[in-house]
Chain A
Amino acid sequence: MIASLRAKDRAELNRRGFLRVSFAAAGGLFVSLYLDREATHTALAQEGNPQPPPQQSPKNFPPDAFVNIRPDGKIVIQVNRLEFGQGVHTGLPLVLADEMDADWNNVIAQLAPAADVYKDPLFGIQMVGGSGSIAHSFQQYRELGAKTRAMLVAAAADRWQTTPDKCRTEAGVVHGPAGQSATYAELAGEAARKPVPASVRLKNSSEFRLVGKRVKRLDRSAKCDGSLKFGLDLDLPGMKVAVVAHPPVFGARVKNINDEEARNVPGVLNIFEIPLAKGTGVAVVAERFWAAKQARSLLQIDWDLAGIEPADSAELWTTYRQLGRTPGNMAATQGDPAAIDKIAPSNRLVAEYEFPFLAHSPMEPLNTTVRFDGERAEAWAGSQFQTFDQAAIAEVLGLKPEQVTFHTEMAGGGFGRRAVTDSHVQREAATIAKRLRGTPVKLVWTREDDVQGGYYRPMHFHRVEIGVEADGLPTAWRHVVVGQSLLADTPFASFLIKNGVDQTAVEGAADTHYAIPNFHVSVHHPKVNVPVLWWRSVGHTHTAFVMETLIDELATRARMDPIAYRRKLLKPEAKKLLRVLDVLDQASAGWRNKLVRGHALGVSCHECFGTGVACAVDVSIENKRPKIHRATIAVDCGLAVNPLSVESQFQAGLSFGLTQLMAKGAITLKNGRVEQRNFDGYAPPYIMDAPAAVDVHIVPSTEAPTGCGEPPVPVISPAVVNALARLTGKRYRTLPLTSI
């Protein structure tokens, strides 16, 4: 069921989107291949036309929900997940367009609204995350493109009274055996009547015209001239703007509001208490954002803190350290868990690591717009979790999800912040829209709301004891992780938390590719009154740091080259990591052994979400901060669907990862209150903090593609810190790096 259509499509099709025929001025028959099969069946049946029942099977994605061949020749492709920088807005359409043999110059990509047909084929919800866009939808979009092409060719073959095998396609045109040709737009109407093939032949990689090529982003021009609209840019007739005063301590409730001054701000329309995911807050609705913000700052609110646990970073560290020095729930075990105790202390390495809370802080502050008319609702948001968000809005408004038209807006970053199972921002917006029935309202979170509003990468403590053999390789590894469970109290809990272990807290450590005979990882999941969330690359943000700094320390101890040491220690099955280490070796050979005085090399490698990455950095210390002159990256992501996109993701993702090292890269709490307010207190990397140059080397591969959204993040911080260790002789186990 197509939940919603863009305005110009609405002009061609009615809300339910059944087949429409329009006659072009020249008398031809042009039809847009964009229809809802079920509704078509119903509609045509009602008109007395017998039609075969639509073929609906969960794996059989109807091309018409994804491809619209417009009469003007433009091919509009629906993208089944949010574009928030990772490039899926270009990446999936190019896959479809390639198999379809569409003219890439005529392709327009759109972000699909929330609908069943757009659910992730593997996860069964409409979402983006886990670096899964290409990995999960590559095959899907290939088939969609191939099926559409097959239907167009079948239509042409009919027209020319020949057979499909005698026709070929190129750049949006079908060519017949006797010199005939027809554009896809011309054939669309007839093609729409063809049955969707159950199976199709997909291209050999040698036939690819777009896949595997460096394809520039479809959205790049509009993002350079101010014309591309993000969720925050939405403007609707009669729209009001709302901000919410959130409690200073998570979960607190409003006790008393003095809004006299606030109501005097011109343009303020309404001020009222609303329930939040936890606790309550105060909504301020105004004609304009500035009025709402001014009024909110004039509110005097007494908060009820009774029974609310005030989280405090210093206290948490004390608790976490204690927990970390005791065994937790077993996450991985191999060999003898007591092996470490039998090793002489002089052959043991013990290390404790501390990682603070981190805010995701995408550049576009969170926002959602909702309009509720009593029977239906319409919502706009740059959502990573459309299925959850649509359902949450429906729940708040007393509707069914299909009664909520949920538009996916282009988002200014996400990094996981827009993937929240409790849909708290959408719930706030829906609650306010319910009160303002009939009037669209845009809820805006300010940067202060974002920095102080929770949903952080959790604090973590690690304690690792390593026993080392004479050859310098570890024989025993006992590792305790302490950190809040991300998945507890979410729909994912029942199948992703096993035996008290939340996989997301130990991934990257428990499933390490290093061969360590006696290997034991356990975890504690304390309950803390701070809402927590993924943060780009999730568990790997801290586990990779621990693993790769310790491995490096062992390499130094063994007086081995850091690349050689890793090669030696990795399991032979770790094919991707071994490959990228080889490529890194070659690609960095030109510079890594020729560093000038004051510069040092740092190396790391890590695999996450199926992609293997190796990293080498050239680092010096300038003005007491690490200066990264160069980073060389080797990546094995299987088939690189868009190598330009892979390169961009790695060049840029390294910078995101460096947030962890920034002097002000930490969220801390004192007596329940977040101490940072904005980018002055929580300062991510700016241009001088990022590597000045990054060269990316992609391992040639024909294996199934794996993602690149998150894999850049885990490798950079340990690589930089490994370089610093060579410069200063110190070990850096507490993040962020406030001093070097």
Chain B
Amino acid sequence: MATYKLNVNGQPREVTVDPSTPLLWVLREDLKMTGTKFGCGISACGACTVHLDGIATRSCIVPISHVGDRPITTIEGIGSDAVGRAVQSAWVETDVVQCGYCQSGQIMAAVALLKATSKPTDENIEESMGGNLCRCGTYPRIRQAIKTAAAQLTKGAA
């Protein structure tokens, strides 16, 4: 067991856990933040996506010992800036979700895309969202919501 000082959504948090514990399980069970989901445990589905120092990261495969002092942003905190808000708002307006279990990860990936590319093409969307699984199949509405968010952000910036 070891103690780690973490920066989660701008808040300092401290946990004492086995160093091999993936960040996902520290978030869910030690910090009780269940918005980040467990889907596969092998980084194949993206349900566990968080941002680590601004980079979209699959938290199920990053041991807590590898995190260091890099700021962690989860779905619970992604709405703290304009891009996060625009994506969440577009998701809600477009009625994207079905079961919703994958959507935290989808939103985290979409935010990463829109922060890097303000006018993503269909190809950009397929490439950046191509690692996030949705068993319900909400993909067409995800595409729509990303375009809506992009348009919203462009309008806002204009």
Query: What range describes how many residues of B lie at the interface?
Result: 35 or more
A694: nearest residue on chain B (CB-CB)?
A: B140
- B122-139 toward A: CB 8 Å interface, digit per residue (1/0)? 100110011111111111
Q: Which residues of B contact A685 (CB under 8 A)?
A: 137, 139
- B41 located at the interface, meaning its Cβ lies under 8 Å from any Cβ of chain A in the complex: yes
Binds A, one of B51-59, B71-79, B150-158: B71-79
Please measure, in the bound complex, the distance between the C-alpha atom of A410 and the C-alpha atom of B37, giving whole angstroms. 14
- B18 located at the interface, meaning its Cβ lies under 8 Å from any Cβ of chain A in the complex: yes
A452 to chain B, nearest CB (A): 13
Q: Which residues of A contact B47 (CB under 8 A)?
A: 363
**A217 and B97: CB pair below 8 A?**
yes
B105 to chain A, nearest CB (A): 9
Asked, given contacts A226-B104, A656-B136, A680-B44, whether A290 binds B18 with beta carbons under 8 Å apart, the answer is yes
Asked, given contacts A290-B18, A363-B45, whether A687 binds B101 with beta carbons under 8 Å apart, the answer is no
**B136 and A226: CB pair below 8 A?**
no
- Residues of A237-290 at the interface with B, using a CB-CB cut-off of 8 Å, are 241, 266-267, 288-290
Please measure, in the bound complex, the distance between the C-alpha atom of A574 and the C-alpha atom of B45, giving whole angstroms. 41
**A363 and B39: CB pair below 8 A?**
yes
**A230 and B21: CB pair below 8 A?**
no
- B35 located at the interface, meaning its Cβ lies under 8 Å from any Cβ of chain A in the complex: yes
- A648 located at the interface, meaning its Cβ lies under 8 Å from any Cβ of chain B in the complex: yes
**A217 and B95: CB pair below 8 A?**
yes
- A703 located at the interface, meaning its Cβ lies under 8 Å from any Cβ of chain B in the complex: no
Binds B, one of A82-90, A422-430, A486-494, A597-605: A82-90
Asked, given contacts A290-B22, A655-B137, A679-B40, whether A224 binds B132 with beta carbons under 8 Å apart, the answer is no
A233: nearest residue on chain B (CB-CB)?
A: B34
- A179-191 toward B: CB 8 Å interface, digit per residue (1/0)? 0000000000000
Q: Which residues of A contact B132 (CB under 8 A)?
A: 686-687
Please measure, in the bound complex, the distance between the C-alpha atom of A364 and the C-alpha atom of B135, giving whole angstroms. 10
**B130 and A686: CB pair below 8 A?**
yes
Partner of A362, one of B75, B129, B135: B135
Please measure, in the bound complex, the distance between the C-alpha atom of A648 and the C-alpha atom of B98, giving whole angstroms. 8
Asked, given contacts A219-B97, A686-B130, whether A693 binds B140 with beta carbons under 8 Å apart, the answer is yes
Query: What range describes how many residues of A lie at the interface?
Result: 35 or more
Please measure, in the bound complex, the distance between the C-alpha atom of A658 and the C-alpha atom of B28, giving whole angstroms. 32
B1: nearest residue on chain A (CB-CB)?
A: A266
**B25 and A363: CB pair below 8 A?**
no
**A229 and B130: CB pair below 8 A?**
no
B29: nearest residue on chain A (CB-CB)?
A: A288
- B82 located at the interface, meaning its Cβ lies under 8 Å from any Cβ of chain A in the complex: no
**B101 and A413: CB pair below 8 A?**
yes
Q: Which residues of B contact A290 (CB under 8 A)?
A: 18, 20-22, 25, 29
**A363 and B29: CB pair below 8 A?**
no
Q: Which residues of A contact B134 (CB under 8 A)?
A: 363, 652, 655, 687
**B137 and A225: CB pair below 8 A?**
no
**A291 and B18: CB pair below 8 A?**
yes
- B23-42 toward A: CB 8 Å interface, digit per residue (1/0)? 00100111011111111111
Please measure, in the bound complex, the distance between the C-alpha atom of A85 and the C-alpha atom of B98, giving whole angstroms. 4
- Residues of A191-242 at the interface with B, using a CB-CB cut-off of 8 Å, are 216-217, 219-221, 223-230, 232-233, 235, 241
**B135 and A684: CB pair below 8 A?**
yes
**A651 and B34: CB pair below 8 A?**
no
B63 to chain A, nearest CB (A): 10
**B39 and A223: CB pair below 8 A?**
no
Q: Among A85, A86, A241, find the residue whose CB has the most chain B CB atoms closer than 10 A.
A: A85
- A344 located at the interface, meaning its Cβ lies under 8 Å from any Cβ of chain B in the complex: no
**B140 and A447: CB pair below 8 A?**
no
Asked, given contacts A230-B101, A655-B137, whether A220 binds B92 with beta carbons under 8 Å apart, the answer is yes
Q: Which residues of A contact B131 (CB under 8 A)?
A: 686
- Residues of A39-90 at the interface with B, using a CB-CB cut-off of 8 Å, are 83-87
Partner of A651, one of B45, B88, B137: B137
A733 to chain B, nearest CB (A): 25
- B107 located at the interface, meaning its Cβ lies under 8 Å from any Cβ of chain A in the complex: yes
- B141 located at the interface, meaning its Cβ lies under 8 Å from any Cβ of chain A in the complex: yes
**A87 and B100: CB pair below 8 A?**
no
Asked, given contacts A219-B100, A289-B25, whether A364 binds B137 with beta carbons under 8 Å apart, the answer is no
- Residues of B79-110 at the interface with A, using a CB-CB cut-off of 8 Å, are 79, 88, 91-92, 95-104, 107
- Residues of A630-670 at the interface with B, using a CB-CB cut-off of 8 Å, are 644, 648, 651-656, 658
Please measure, in the bound complex, the distance between the C-alpha atom of A683 and the C-alpha atom of B142, giving whole angstroms. 20
Q: Which residues of A contact B119 (CB under 8 A)?
A: none
Q: Among A289, A414, A644, find the residue whose CB has the most chain B CB atoms closer than 10 A.
A: A289
**A365 and B38: CB pair below 8 A?**
yes
Asked, given contacts A290-B21, A687-B130, A688-B130, whether A226 binds B39 with beta carbons under 8 Å apart, the answer is no
**A652 and B104: CB pair below 8 A?**
no
**B25 and A224: CB pair below 8 A?**
no
**A412 and B41: CB pair below 8 A?**
no
**A684 and B34: CB pair below 8 A?**
no
A654: nearest residue on chain B (CB-CB)?
A: B137
A61 to chain B, nearest CB (A): 27
**A413 and B136: CB pair below 8 A?**
yes
**A652 and B42: CB pair below 8 A?**
no
A689: nearest residue on chain B (CB-CB)?
A: B139
Q: Which residues of B contact A692 (CB under 8 A)?
A: 122, 140, 143
**B135 and A361: CB pair below 8 A?**
yes
**A447 and B42: CB pair below 8 A?**
yes
**A652 and B41: CB pair below 8 A?**
no
Partner of B98, one of A86, A228, A229, A690: A86
Q: Which residues of B contact A288 (CB under 8 A)?
A: 17, 21, 25, 29-30
- Residues of A375-423 at the interface with B, using a CB-CB cut-off of 8 Å, are 410-415
Q: Which residues of A contact B103 (CB under 8 A)?
A: 223-224
**B34 and A364: CB pair below 8 A?**
no
Q: Among B17, B20, B41, B98, find the residue whose CB has the most chain A CB atoms closer than 10 A.
A: B98
Please measure, in the bound complex, the distance between the C-alpha atom of A644 and the C-alpha atom of B98, giving whole angstroms. 12
- A294 located at the interface, meaning its Cβ lies under 8 Å from any Cβ of chain B in the complex: yes
**A226 and B33: CB pair below 8 A?**
yes
A656: nearest residue on chain B (CB-CB)?
A: B137
Please measure, in the bound complex, the distance between the C-alpha atom of A225 and the C-alpha atom of B75, giving whole angstroms. 6
Please measure, in the bound complex, the distance between the C-alpha atom of A363 and the C-alpha atom of B79, giving whole angstroms. 24
B136: nearest residue on chain A (CB-CB)?
A: A85
- A556 located at the interface, meaning its Cβ lies under 8 Å from any Cβ of chain B in the complex: no
- A145 located at the interface, meaning its Cβ lies under 8 Å from any Cβ of chain B in the complex: no
12 additional contacts (CB under 8 A) given A85-B100, A364-B101, A656-B137 = A219-B97, A224-B91, A224-B96, A228-B100, A235-B34, A290-B29, A365-B39, A652-B138, A655-B134, A658-B137, A683-B44, A687-B125
Q: A interface vs B, CB < 8 Å?
A: 83-87, 216-217, 219-221, 223-230, 232-233, 235, 241, 266-267, 288-291, 294, 361-365, 410-415, 446-448, 644, 648, 651-656, 658, 678-680, 683-688, 690-694
Please list 7 pairs of residues, one from A and one from B, whose beta carbons are closer than 8 Å in the complex, sorted by A's number. A83-B99, A289-B28, A361-B135, A448-B41, A652-B140, A687-B132, A692-B143
- What 6 pairs between A and B have smallest CB-CB spacing? A226-B35, A655-B137, A412-B101, A223-B100, A85-B99, A85-B98
